[in-house]
Structure 1
């Protein structure tokens, strides 16, 4: 069974926006869609290292602010002609809190 870590309040993440959470294991970008779904991805575009948390959230995608790569928030896969992916983390909501699966964060270096 997975152990989840309370990482943020849902209200701390703007709709169609993101927040970065620095954990002891590394930085995680939390994204909130217009319909209040929350996704967690590694906060670094594999193309040029852009901060995905500063990108534009549209539907269930985020566009990197540096060069426009688009990533699926569900899978972390680049969309269109771009190739690459970012790590995703399992997220759940509980009473207005965002919880991230701790097993996916283990073994990462500190931010």
Structure 2
């Protein structure tokens, strides 16, 4: 369950996030793709590829990147930038872990 507290939104326990598999989280009118990387880092980005709107939470994760499932665009989970030779960017969201609870910082 998502609990709103100003601009901080709880998305549940870190234990509920599988490694290297995206999870879609809806906060108001925003759809966010959340990923737990192999090193335990949590990353969150806009859930639509800037190319053709592919659902990024369904993409393949490799290191700090997700590959769009539609056309294989490589997007950096740290800064949202599409990697060359393609161009574009998706919005990134800060995450915070308190205990085992994961929070998104929504602006």
1:1-111 matches, cutoff 5 A: 3-102=7-106, 104=107
- What are structure 2's unaligned runs of at least 5 residues? 1-5
Q: Secondary structure at the match of 2:69?
A: coil
Question: CA offset at residue 3 of structure 1?
Answer: 4.4
Q: Deviations over 1:76-107 (max 9, x none)?
A: 000121100000011111111111113x2xxx
TM-score by length of 1: 0.86
Determine helix, strand or coil for the equivalent of 1:11.
helix
TM-align CA RMSD? 1.3
Following superposition, the deviation at residue 34 of structure 1 comes to 0.6
- Find the aligned partners of 1:62 and 1:9 in 2 and give their Cα distance: 22
